[in-house]
């Protein structure tokens, strides 16, 4: 896990992005109702600008999605925070992320002390993002290229699963890899209407809670067969 700045970093030059990052969290995340202090603290020390392409880096701490290439975006900070808070991640939890994208969501989870397993279906984007995560010393993020529909069976079961792309239904392998009592969050729907949904696995079934309407890019791969 990348470490938060401490006394040992006193000799380092000041972070020119720190003020913008703190303002982003205070004004566009906490002010809109996210109250989990661990989520807020993680976002205050996770360098979002490192996960944004250079052409858009000056916008890194605005509360908006930004293009990262491949017709994909890095989600707006408020959505990242809302999803992270909703799955109630604790230090030491194993979390599966479907759709690595820029790597920012995985970084926030790692900053919270989670062991993150993240899957990206786009090989070129995945290779780029892996370099970013490695350059920032996120040792608790394991990443692979593949179809997230099938999850990461060798690392299951997971305390939480985050799907960061829209899906018409939750892939059965992902539900199977979620612990009893674990929580899964996903934007469920089509190109036109999606609802951010939290699913909690019980011994006999699942419960569902709808949080809000959202707009995410579509999940690709095996899931296309059920569309």
Q: Using one digit for the tens of pLDDT, what is the confidence trace for 28-57? A: 999 999 999 999 999 999 999 999 999 999
Q: Which residues pair with 160 in a beta bridge?
A: 95, 183
Strands (E), the chain: 66-69, 72-74, 94-98, 115-120, 141-145, 158-163, 178-189, 194-201, 206-214
pTM for the whole structure: 0.91
Listed in sequence order, the residues at least 6 apart from 1 whose beta carbon sits closer than 8 Å to its beta carbon are 110, 111, 113, 138, 139, 140
Using an 8 Å Cβ cutoff, are 17 and 60 in contact? yes
Give the helix, strand, coil percentages of the chain, each rounded to 5.
35, 25, 35
Angle at 24 between CA 89 and CA 130, to 5 degrees: 55
Give the pLDDT confidence of 122-165 residue by residue, as tens digits.
999 999 999 999 999 999 999 999 999 999 999 999 999 999 99
Q: For residue 1, name the pLDDT band (cuts at 50, 70, 90).
A: very low
Task: Look up tokens 């900053």; give the residue.
Answer: 111
75 classed as catalytic: yes
Of 64, 75, 135, 137, the active-site residue reads 75
Tokens of 197: 């949904």
Tokens of 58: 């000056």
């Amino acid at each position: 896990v990348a470490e938060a700045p401490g006394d040992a970093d006193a000799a380092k030059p000041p972070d020119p992005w720190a003020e913008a990052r703190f303002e982003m969290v205070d004004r566009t995340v906490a002010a809109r109702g996210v109250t989990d202090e661990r989520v807020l603290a993680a976002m205050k020390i996770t360098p979002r600008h490192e996960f944004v392409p250079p052409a858009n880096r000056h916008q890194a701490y605005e509360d908006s999605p930004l293009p990262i290439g491949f017709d994909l975006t890095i989600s707006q900070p408020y959505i990242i925070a809302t999803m992270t808070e909703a799955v109630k991640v604790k230090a030491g939890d194993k979390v599966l992320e479907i759709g690595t994208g820029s790597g920012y969501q995985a970084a926030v989870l790692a900053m919270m002390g989670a062991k993150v397993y993240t899957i990206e279906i786009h090989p070129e984007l995945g290779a780029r993002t892996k370099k970013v995560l490695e350059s920032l010393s996120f040792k608790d993020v394991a990443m692979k290229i593949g179809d997230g529909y099938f999850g990461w069976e060798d690392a299951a079961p997971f305390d939480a699963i985050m799907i960061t792309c829209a899906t018409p239904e939750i892939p059965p392998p992902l539900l199977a890899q979620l612990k009893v009592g674990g929580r899964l969050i996903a934007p469920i729907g089509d190109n036109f209407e999606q609802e951010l949904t939290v699913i909690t696995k019980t011994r006999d079934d699942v419960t569902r809670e709808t949080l809000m309407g959202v707009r995410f890019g579509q999940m690709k791969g095996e899931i296309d067969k059920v569309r």
